[in-house]
Amino acid sequence: MNKLAAVGEERWHLPQHAHIIVYESEQGDELLTIYDCGAAQKPPSAQVIGNLVRVRAEHELERTVTGYVVSMREKSVLEKQDDDHFVIVSNGSD
C-alpha cells in the first residue's frame, strides 16, 4: 500500500502535518506507517519496511513503548536510500 505522491524515483511527498509511526522489531527492522495528518480519521497513506535513519526537516519526535512517532512540521520528502534505509528531507520549496 503506497498512496503517497511520487516526486521522483524512490522519492515521495509528505504533507506538512504527516505522522510517521515507526515500529521497531527485535530483529532491527522497522515498519513505517505514514498518515497524511495525525488528526485525520482515515487509513494510512503508506506502509514500508525499512529503517528511518534520519529526519532533516522540522519535526517533533515522541518515543513510545514499541518505537517512536515522527510528527512533521513542514512539507518534506521521504527518500529511499537503499533497500533498507529511508530519510526524510525538507521540501520547503513546494
Higher-pLDDT residue of 63, 25: 63
What pLDDT, on a 0 to 100 scale, did the predictor assign at position 27?
84
Candidates 37, 22, 43, 21; CA nearest to 73 is: 37
Q: Count each helix (H run) and each strand (E run) in the chain, helices first.
A: 0, 10
Domain boundaries, the chain: 6-89
What pLDDT, on a 0 to 100 scale, did the predictor assign at position 28?
82
What pLDDT, on a 0 to 100 scale, did the predictor assign at position 92?
66
Express each pLDDT in 30-58 by its tens digit: 999 999 987 778 899 999 999 999 999 99
